[in-house]
Amino acid sequence: MEINLHTNFKEEAPQRTGSSCFLEVLFFMPKREAELMSLESVEFEISRQARAWADIKEAFKSKKVLVATAIGIEEIEFQKGAKPKECLKLSYDGIFGYLPKDFIDNYTFKGLTFFIGKQFEFTVEHIDLDTQIFLANRIEALKSLSQRFFNKAAENDIYNAFVRGVDPFNLYLLIDGIPATLHRTQFSHTYIEDLREEVEIGDRIQVLLKKIVKPNQPYQLKENGKERVAGETGYLEVSAKELKHDPWTQIISFKEKSMYLGKIIRIHPDYGIFVELAEAPGLTIRCNFPPNCPDTLKIGEAVNVKITKIDHQERKITALIILPKRAVGKNNTSFRRSSFR
């Protein structure tokens, strides 16, 4: 798609005069030390932006992929009289640019708000030498990255994955332009009911490449052994769980037929009560609702659990929540207080 910004692009770099005027004003400061500190600060900022602008111009010529941070959302009129387009405003080391919504991804996004503060790969479509503003294209950047991915990626490599979509059961990721799906069972060692409570669109997570299938090559599904053929973007199996600490290693501190302190971390009407054992972060037990379970049980509350079985092969713990039959002392509402006379 060809885009002409409303501002005119020129081939020659502009003369910078504003910064020199600002430097002259600083000499009216009363203390010499303050003058020198201010000058150094301004010179550093000018140097940083000059290097960034040089990177932008070079990327415009070479189509090199850069990374910038989204700092806002603006509507920009790219052609005179045309309908303004919603864009992410990017900052590349102090140089501003615009990434139109339809240049972000081929994936459909409902809005851009959750992208503010996130980082985006991009190639430079156009530059305005007068205003030092650039037009970014992420779709082209992803194409460039994906073309190199299968030549350099190897199984057991670790990559930063971009979250382009999320539902209760899956994360839809982009790894250097290659799509991948991460099921919730591969996100964490602990039970995750709804991934939307853990991750949002635009986040980046580290994943381990477990399986790489090049485009149009056959592969077998792990679940049922059926053979399939990868599409034009190939096929990836990834895991975030395998890069995290495994809480099961703490099971050696617990025994069957013993009672321990825990904390309620989740209550589900169908699946029961999830309890994290004290002094064992991440080691979670799913318990059924105890008989005569009070409605007052809440997340964060301390409870006692009795472990009835530890299945090391299946990595499962069977346990019961033990509720005291009657509180003793001040928590017993039927306890009659008395005093010496």
Percent of the chain with pLDDT over 90: 60
Does residue 63 belong to any structural domain of this protein? Answer: yes
Q: Name the β-bridge partners of 218.
A: 229
Does residue 339 belong to any structural domain of this protein? Answer: no
Q: Residue 264 belongs to a domain with what CATH number?
A: 2.40.50.140
- Whether 89 and 27 map to the same domain: the answer is yes
| Overall domain count for the chain | 3
CA gap 296, 298 in Å, rounded: 6
Does residue 44 belong to any structural domain of this protein? Answer: yes
Pairing outcome for strands 85-92 and 95-100: antiparallel
Residue 48: give the domain boundaries: 18-140
Residues 222-253 pLDDT 10s: 777 788 899 889 999 999 999 999 999 999 99
- Contacts of 242-245 with C-beta under 8 Å, sequence gap 24+, read 242/186, 242/208, 242/210, 243/158, 243/206, 243/207, 243/208, 244/188, 244/189, 245/189, 245/282
Residues 275-327 pLDDT 10s: 999 999 889 998 988 887 777 788 999 999 999 999 999 888 999 999 876 55
Contact 122, 139 (CB under 8 A): no
Contact 202, 174 (CB under 8 A): no
Q: Name the β-bridge partners of 319.
A: 307
CA torsion 170-238-310-281 (nearest 10°) is -80
Confidence grade of residue 13 (pLDDT, cut at 50, 70, 90): very low
- Whether 75 and 157 map to the same domain: the answer is no
- Whether 119 and 180 map to the same domain: the answer is no
What is the mean predicted confidence (pLDDT) over 90-100? Answer: 96
What is the mean predicted confidence (pLDDT) over 249-269? Answer: 93
What is the mean predicted confidence (pLDDT) over 36-50? Answer: 65
Does residue 212 belong to any structural domain of this protein? Answer: yes
Q: Is the pLDDT of residue 80 over 90?
A: no
- Whether 230 and 253 map to the same domain: the answer is no
